[in-house]
Structure formats: structure tokens, C-alpha cells
Amino acid sequence: MNYQFLSLSLALSLLVGCAGSNNFVTPVEERSLAPVIAPPSGTVIPVEQSEQVVVAPIYDAPSFEPRAQTPSEQRSVPQAVQQSMQPMSPAADPSMPRLESSSNTAVVALLGDAQQSAGRGDFAAAESQVERALRISPRDPQIYLQLAAVKRQQREYLQAEQVALRGVALSAGLPDFKRKLWRELALIRTQAGDFGGAAQAQAESERP
């Protein structure tokens, strides 16, 4: 390759590096847009200490320049998450994010029906009911826990395991659910004959 060119571009990129935060500004595909205004290099960008943060962040939010600290962390934690964090008075808080706890009553009712169906041995009906709940609140780990149990009872161990794993992925910040899901995974793997995997899952469920 052309070394002169390379070294030139290297030098240029270094200069760009000196310019500080500016590499967020160069538009690439969309040049017709108004440029995003970046603070001059060298300025200290204060981290916004948002007063409206009512729900303690359960995860770190990514920061994006120049709109550092978008308010993402203060809103819309899945409803199950909020409930687990504020079990005492969820309704008292006027600035609760948009998923109301009331929408949960439908899910609770459906999961109750599903439990009854499963109790009668009607797993097909139970599956229908849990799936209906899943469509209403697809990020609620409780639903995955129950769906995994139904699939296990139907002896669909592969699917049961996958559903439970997805439940684990969705129960970030909800240690109780995570433990229950790992316990369910241990059960699934035991019944499927995967004793090594079951022991692992059991260990996960006992992790503090």
C-alpha cells in the first residue's frame, strides 16, 4: 500500500484524536442532517444527577456522547422488576414508569388458570394460557418460570430448558426469580437425565 498515504492518514487520525470528543460528530451516511452539537474539546461534561430518578438503577446504563446519561435508567424497568424492588407501595409513587401494576392482574389471572389446567393434567390448555400471558407481558420472568414447568411436565425437556434460560436472561436484577429459574433448570435437567447439568444449575441456584 501507499505508505505515505497511510502515514498521512495515521497522522490525521492522531490529530483527530487530539480534537477530543469530536469523533462522535462526523456524520457518515447521512450528510444532509444537521450536525449534532458537541461540546468544545476539553470541556468537562457533568454527569447529570437526575432528580426524578425514583427507581434505583438495577443495571448500569450506557452513556452516549454528547447526550451523556440519557434518562434510560429511570424508566421502564420491567414491571416485575419494579414490583420486586418496591413491593410495599408501588401505587404511591406518581412517577412510576408506564407499565402499571394493574396490567399485571390479567397475567396473574392467566397464570392462575394455567396452574389449574396443569393441575388437571391438561398441559395443552396450560401452555395456551401461559402463552397468552407471555404475549401480554413478555419480559416477566415469572411467566417463563411457569412455561418452563409446563414444558417439563409435557416432557419437552429441550424447550423447557431454553425457556428457563431465557427467563434467567430476563431476571437480571431479580435474584429471587433467578434462583427459582435455576432450581427449575436443575429439575428439568434431572428429569432429562442430564445430571451434570442439573448439579451445575443447582449450584447456580444456591449462589448468594
138-167 residues in contact with another protein (CB under 8 A) are 138-139, 147, 159, 162-163, 165-166
33-92 residues in contact with another protein (CB under 8 A) are 33, 36, 39, 41-47, 58-68, 70-72, 75-78
Q: Is 29 in the site for another protein (CB under 8 A)?
A: yes
In the complex, the smallest distance separating the C-beta of residue 184 from another protein, rounded to whole angstroms, is 16
Counting residues that bind another protein (by CB under 8 A) gives 82
The owner of cell 422488576 is 81
Q: Is 95 in the site for another protein (CB under 8 A)?
A: no
Q: Which one among 102, 119, 121, 193 touches another protein, defined by CB under 8 A?
A: 102
Q: Is 183 in the site for another protein (CB under 8 A)?
A: no
In the complex, the smallest distance separating the C-beta of residue 203 from another protein, rounded to whole angstroms, is 14
Q: Is 129 in the site for another protein (CB under 8 A)?
A: yes
In the complex, the smallest distance separating the C-beta of residue 162 from another protein, rounded to whole angstroms, is 5
In the complex, the smallest distance separating the C-beta of residue 64 from another protein, rounded to whole angstroms, is 4
Q: Which three three-digit cell numbers place residue 116? A: 389449574
Q: Which one among 50, 95, 103, 116 touches another protein, defined by CB under 8 A?
A: 103
Question: From the CA atom positions of the chain, what is the Rg in Å?
Answer: 25
What lies within 8 Å, CB to CB, of 111 at 6+ separation is 129, 130, 133, 142, 143, 146
198-206 long-range contacts, CB within 8 A, separation 24+: 205/179, 205/180, 206/179
In the complex, the smallest distance separating the C-beta of residue 202 from another protein, rounded to whole angstroms, is 17
187-190 long-range contacts, CB within 8 A, separation 24+: 187/152, 188/148, 188/152, 188/157, 188/160, 188/161, 188/164, 189/157, 189/161
Q: Which is nearer to another protein, 115 or 128 (CB)?
A: 128
In the complex, the smallest distance separating the C-beta of residue 149 from another protein, rounded to whole angstroms, is 14
What lies within 8 Å, CB to CB, of 179 at 6+ separation is 205, 206
Three-class SS state of 206: helix
Q: Which three three-digit cell numbers place residue 204? A: 447456580
Three-class SS state of 139: coil
Q: Is 194 in the site for another protein (CB under 8 A)?
A: no
Q: Which is nearer to another protein, 38 or 190 (CB)?
A: 38
